[in-house]
Amino acid sequence: MLTVVLSILFGVAAFISGAVILQSAALGLRYWKAISAQMERERISSRPARVTRAPLGARSPVRRIVRQQAINREPAPLFAV
């Protein structure tokens, strides 16, 4: 009879300790995920902004400026004297 009571008590104690271990593991996993997400946000925010490319066929601003300068420029003389 005593062994049955002791085995039940030890079983309950083992169940409770297992539940506590699982609970702390879940809490640690949640904490680790929160820290890694925060580190990822900081890494992304500290990264320089990406330069987005213009769609194909669109003129780049540099080409547009050079083209406008070429239009505004006076034509070169045909014969230099």
Number of structural domains (the chain) is 1
Of 22, 20, 17, nearest to 9 by C-alpha is: 17
Using DSSP's 3-state secondary structure scheme, residue 81 falls into: coil
Question: Is residue 7 in some structural domain?
Answer: yes
3-state secondary structure 35-79: HHHHHHHHHHHHCCCCCCCCCCCCCCHHHHHHHHHHHHCCCCCCC
Question: Is residue 24 in some structural domain?
Answer: yes
- Asked if residue 27 lies in contact with residue 33, where contact means CB atoms within 8 angstroms, the answer is no
Tens-digit pLDDT profile for residues 13-37: 999 999 999 999 999 999 999 999 9
Report if pTM > 0.85. Answer: no
Question: Is residue 70 in some structural domain?
Answer: no
Across 42-68, average pLDDT: 64
Question: Is residue 55 in some structural domain?
Answer: no
Examine the pLDDT at 75 and tell me if it is beyond 80.
no
Question: Is residue 33 in some structural domain?
Answer: yes
Question: Is residue 11 in some structural domain?
Answer: yes
d(CA 59, CA 57): 6
Question: Is residue 81 in some structural domain?
Answer: no
Could you list the residue range(s) of the whole structural domain that residue 32 is in? 1-45
